[in-house]
Amino acid sequence: MTLNLKQIAAEKAVDEFVKDGMTVGLGTGSTAYYAIKRVGELIGKGWKLRCVATSVQTEEIAKEFKIDVIDLDEADHIDVTIDGADEADPDMQLIKGLGGALLREKIVASVSREEVIVVDDSKLVEKLGTKSPLPVEVLIFGHKKTKIALEKQRCTAVLRTKGDVPFVTDGGNYIYDCNFGSIDNPFFLESRINVIPGVVENGLFLNMATAVVVASADGTVRML
């Protein structure tokens, strides 16, 4: 039987960090799906959990598992958010956003007391950018000019598409997937990207993760 590493790690994260009575941020993507499913199981057992979704997709999945979702502004705080990542380095710095929800994910992460990231060991890298492009969410207005400015930071920026048309985020924006190669100084790069007019948000999640739960091919789970 093939082990489902995403499911193993996600369930471990929920069981380890979610307690009855908490307000929980629900991440977006294939790994977060299993965390959402596990949260739904706990609610089915009578747990009182308030949940905030990081995307429209997550809201729909939450409904599937009988989870009531509240708006972020209705929550006094978020105790813990459980989400996936596209890359994680040894210092728990992350690249996120291949699922297309980086803006809402970053807003929710920024107000969470704990940001727990769930990955399999294929997502671990020594330096960010090694395997994944860096998603950058941009305004549709003038997006080609924004692309030119992004590429001045020494990357190749590719407009994300869905079928034959540009992918549009929940916020009504486009995403450029920027291939930098190995990123030596992610904090400096983040500051350079953020000052570009037209950039809404970038997929560098720096100093946000409080724990990274890693599932390995042999079925073991460890934490960074």
Q: CB under 8 Å to 40, separation ≥6 — which residues?
A: 62, 64, 65, 66, 67
pLDDT for the residue numbered 211: 97
Tens-digit pLDDT profile for residues 75-121: 999 999 999 999 999 999 999 999 999 999 999 999 999 999 999 99
Q: Do 149 and 181 reside in the same domain of the chain?
A: yes
CA distance 123 to 211: 14
Residues 106 and 18 in one domain: yes
Q: Are residues 50 and 111 in the same domain?
A: yes
Q: Does 66 reside within a domain?
A: yes
Question: What does the pLDDT read at residue 1?
Answer: 32
The count of domains in the chain is: 2
For residue 224, being part of any structural domain is answered with no
pTM score of the predicted model = 0.94
Residues classed as catalytic? 105
What residues have CB less than 8 Å from 139, skipping those under 6 apart? 146, 173, 174, 198, 200
> Could you list the residue range(s) of the whole structural domain that residue 21 is in?
5-125+206-218
Domain identity same for 118 and 149: no
Spatial separation of the C-alpha atoms in residues 212 and 224, rounded to whole Å: 5
What are the strands, taking DSSP E only, across the chain? 23-26, 50-53, 78-84, 87-88, 94-95, 112-120, 134-138, 156-159, 161-162, 165-166, 174-179, 199-202, 204-205, 211-215, 221-223
Residue by residue, pLDDT tens for the chain (224 residues) are 346 888 999 999 999 999 999 999 999 999 999 999 999 999 999 999 999 999 999 999 999 999 999 999 999 999 999 999 999 999 999 999 999 999 999 999 999 999 999 999 999 999 999 999 999 999 999 999 999 999 999 999 999 999 999 999 999 999 999 999 999 999 999 999 999 999 999 999 999 999 999 999 888 889 88
Contact of 153 with 185, CB cutoff 8 Å: no
Closest residue by Cα to residue 26 from 2, 46, 42, 5:
42
Query: What is the DSSP track for 30-92?
Result: HHHHHHHHHHHHHHHTT---EEEESSHHHHHHHHHTT--B--GGG-S-EEEEEEE-SEE-TT-
Alpha-carbon gap, residue 136 to 59, rounded angstroms: 23
Q: Looking at the structure, tell me whether residues 101 and 13 fall in a common domain.
A: yes
Name the pairing type of β-strands 112-120 and 78-84: parallel
